[in-house]
Structure 1
Amino acid sequence: MRPHDDSVPRPRGRRTWFTAATAGLSALALTGCAGRVEDGLLPRGATEGAERVTNLWVGSWIAALAVGVLVWGLILWCAVAYRRRRDDDGTLPVQLRYNVPLEILYTVVPVLMIAVLFFYTQRDESALLDTSKQPDVVVNAVGKQWSWDFNYVNEQVYETGTHAQLTGEPGVEETLPTLYLPVNKRVEFQLTARDVIHSFWIPAFLQKLDMIPGKVNRFQVVPTQTGTFQGKCAELCGAYHSQMLFNVKVVEQAEYDRHIAELKAKGNEGQLDNGLNREEIMDEDADKLENAGSN
């Protein structure tokens, strides 16, 4: 048996292409579960502003793919047109130090592309963050390590949540704090945080915003679909960031009113203090335990 010659490359091309194709198809299948190709694989938006986000996203990808196809085409053309041939004598082609028209082209064109992208991004961002209209519902969402509180400002009631225990067993979703919103009503979110920076994100709304201690961020949405959606923190905020979850129920006005009445019946009237933080709560609990032990 002849020993293998390490200087001869092994035929790995077919295996590499097969692996790459399998990975690509798997990624496409997994992302396809969340959205359609015509929506850029984004989730179907459930608010009035979601279409604006989808159009910006898809348009950006079309522009990026057009540039990519052009660059890939030029690379392949150069590789084929200037490949080494058998009759080459080994001399290098004429070397040019610069090409002024070409350098101007690949400097001006990217600047123009960035300017166009900036224009549309700024236009849509200004529209999505516009809070000049009068909201029907105002919700103060409070982020805390690692759960959520919701103050319904107009109704003067609140919902408080505790750290989720993700055991993998059925029914865990029912233990998460749940935010109720009326369908086809303008909702203003007033976002605050008690301890560290969090981010308020409802993927189906295609919009999120940071929650910064000492600062109030706002944005408005109009939910257009009833149903139950997932919410989460989108900013790494500590050890249990991944468990900082909540539910969102978009319901008819009558059901929303019933939920508000249920919160009042439970005694959840008033507004939770945004000034509370984890350290104060832990100190209060420690004092209670110490007093209980001394008695």
Structure 2
Amino acid sequence: MRNNHRLRWAAIPLAATLAVVLAGCTQAQLHGFLPGFIEEGEAPVSNQTDRIAGLWTTGWIVLLVVGLITWGLIIWTIVVYRRRKGQTGLPVQLRYNMPIEIFYTVVPLILVVGFFAFTVRDQIAIETRFETPDVKIEVQAKQWAWDFNYVDEDVYSPGIQGQPDPDGERGSLIESELPVLVLPVDQKVEIALESRDVIHSFWVIDFLYKKDVVPGKTNYMSVIPERIGTFKGKCAELCGEYHSLMLFNVEVVSQEDYDTYIQTLRSAGNVGQLDNNYDRNQNQPGTSAPTAPEGN
């Protein structure tokens, strides 16, 4: 009884310490240090960010528990069944232990099926396209930049690859020269992804999601931006010499600021839609080079 009483008093400060540590965790720590969860109390970057982070962190928690049990059993076996002083020969050999064999067959099967089921559930939710999107964007990937078509507004924003900053530190780029995709907050956005040349990958880091951009095929992303701010994007598929400079920014703004930006593009003469007529695949042996330059 006395030992139990001492253990109870020892557990109190341990539990209090654990509670303080957990209470002091930031949103980034609680979501597995993933981007998109920086400020306390702020909304996630998109409607899918919580779902993706939940799948990631839950998976790691399960794997850590499995790892701890596995290492615990290994260490326990090493300690309990170690060779004692004076022992010789081989220990008693056991085989065909059916309960253990069933256990280490069924448990991994349950884990695999569980991971598969939750992944499919979340993937279906993420990949489902909006029936009536509020905003339609067409992204044209090219070596090594991005063009953005605002389909409903019939305007476009052309982009160039990242430009070195001569006045900045080594490797720094001129931020204002990067292509910018502007999205209105809390609106259903459908992004159609197309490539003019090779396979690229459209990745907005804080969205925790990326999708390949394949020549001759249109892929789609459906997302609702939920936090105003500027978020970095890049190509996540090695696509050639200047792949590292194929960067862009996503600016999530209010509807009023979005309308103002669209009017700015219209005033600058960027009316119409950029297409993917320029196709490097047409330059291969046995084909004729395109006669029309890239443009509307």
Superposition TM-score, scaled by structure 1 size: 0.80
Aligned to 1:80: 79
1:263 aligns with 2:265: yes
Question: Partners of 2:215 and 2:281 in 1: how far apart?
Answer: 14
Q: TM-score, normalised by structure 2?
A: 0.80
* Residues 1:41 and 2:33 are matched in the alignment: yes
Q: Which amino acid aligns with 1:84?
A: R
Q: Partner residue of 2:106? A: 108
* Distance (whole Å) between structure 2 residues aligned to residue 162 and residue 278 of structure 1: 17
How many equivalent pairs are there? 251
1:197 maps to 199
Q: 1:79 to 1:211 in 2, by over 3 A?
A: same
Q: 2:219 aligns with which of 217, 220, 225?
A: 217
| Alpha-carbon distance in 2 for matches of 1:91, 1:232 | 62
* Preserved CA contact (<8 Å) 2:140 2:275: no
Deviation string, structure 1 residues 87-115 (Cα, Å, up to 9, x no partner): 22x21112234322222211121111111
- Contact in 2 for aligned 1:197/1:237 (Cα 8 Å): yes
Q: Residue deviations 1:96-136, cap 9 Å, x none?
A: 34322222211121111111111110001000111043111
Note the alpha carbon deviations across 1:208-227, whole angstroms, 9 max, x for none: 11111111111211111111
Aligned mates of 2:52, 2:254 — CA distance in 1: 25
What amino acid is the match of 1:71? T
Distance in 1 between residues matched to 2:106 and 2:209, nearest whole Å: 33
Structure 1 position 85, deviation (Å): 2.1
Q: 3-state DSSP class of the match of 1:231?
A: strand
- The gaps in structure 2 that reach 5 residues or longer are 1-25, 38-43, 284-288
Q: Quick one: which amino acid aligns to residue 64 of structure 2?
A: L
Question: Who is 2:139 aligned against?
Answer: 141
8 A contact 1:144–1:278 mirrored in 2: no
Q: Which stretches of structure 1, 4 residues or longer, exceed 6 Å deviation after superposition?
A: none
Distance 2:244 2:140 in 1: 17
Residue 241 (structure 1) aligned with residue 240 (structure 2)? no
Deviation, 1:72, is 0.7
Change (3 A) 1:80 1:168: farther
Percent identical: 48
Matched position secondary structure for 1:250:
strand
Distance 1:169 1:107, change over 3 A: farther
Cα distance in structure 2, aligned partners of 1:271 and 1:152: 8
Change (3 A) 1:172 1:35: farther
Letter in 1 for 2:247: L
Q: 2:246 and 2:113 mapped to 1: Cα distance?
A: 37
Amino acid aligned to 1:181: L
- Aligned partner of residue 218 in structure 1, secondary structure: strand
Instruction: Summarize the alignment of residues 38-187 of structure 1 with structure 2, pairs less than 5 Å apart.
Output: 38-43=30-35, 44=37, 45-88=44-87, 90-167=88-165, 169-170=167-168, 172-187=174-189
Q: For 2:240, give the aligned amino acid.
A: G
The one-letter code of the counterpart of 1:251 is V
Residue by residue over 1:123-168, the C-alpha shift from the partner in whole angstroms, topping out at 9 and shown as x without a partner, is 0100011104311111111111111010111111111111212347
- Name the Cα RMSD after superposition: 2.1
Q: Distance in 2 between matches of 1:84 and 1:93?
A: 9
CA distance in 2, matches of 1:280, 1:267: 30
Assess if the C-alpha contact under 8 Å between 1:158 and 1:268 holds in 2. Answer: yes
